[in-house]
């Protein structure tokens, strides 16, 4: 097993990523104004789709979203604070 860390950019408020099975989210932050998450992965493992949602501070949540993952500060280089939740498949 040879694990590494991969970065995933959140380009929309709801996004799914194809990640190696068992990927463990390590951190969420804004990089160059874009919200990103970093996960520890084993690239040799089979891939699975995982869904994430961005919610801005003060924005009403539409029901329970799932598991809180982290918070990105200074999104869009405008000081926006966005919170990331992992959600069960909505399909």
Q: Encode pLDDT of 24-35 as tens digits.
A: 999 999 999 999
Task: Give every CB contact of residue 42 below 8 A, 6+ residues apart in sequence.
Answer: 1, 2, 3, 20, 22
pTM given for the model: 0.88
Task: Identify the residue whose tokens are 């408020």.
Answer: 13
Q: Encode pLDDT of 34-52 as tens digits.
A: 999 999 999 999 999 999 9
Burial 22-61 (b: 16+ CB within 10 A, else e): ebebeebbbeeeebbbbbebeeeeeeeebbbbbbeeeeee
């Amino acid at each position: 097993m040879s694990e590494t860390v991969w970065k995933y950019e959140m380009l929309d408020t709801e996004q799914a990523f194809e990640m190696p099975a068992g990927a463990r989210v390590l951190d969420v932050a804004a990089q160059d104004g874009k919200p990103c998450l970093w996960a520890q992965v084993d690239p040799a493992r089979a891939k699975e789709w995982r869904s994430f949602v961005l919610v801005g501070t003060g924005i009403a949540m539409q029901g329970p979203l799932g598991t809180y993952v982290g918070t990105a500060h200074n999104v869009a280089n405008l000081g926006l604070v966005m919170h990331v939740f992992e959600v069960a498949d909505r399909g």
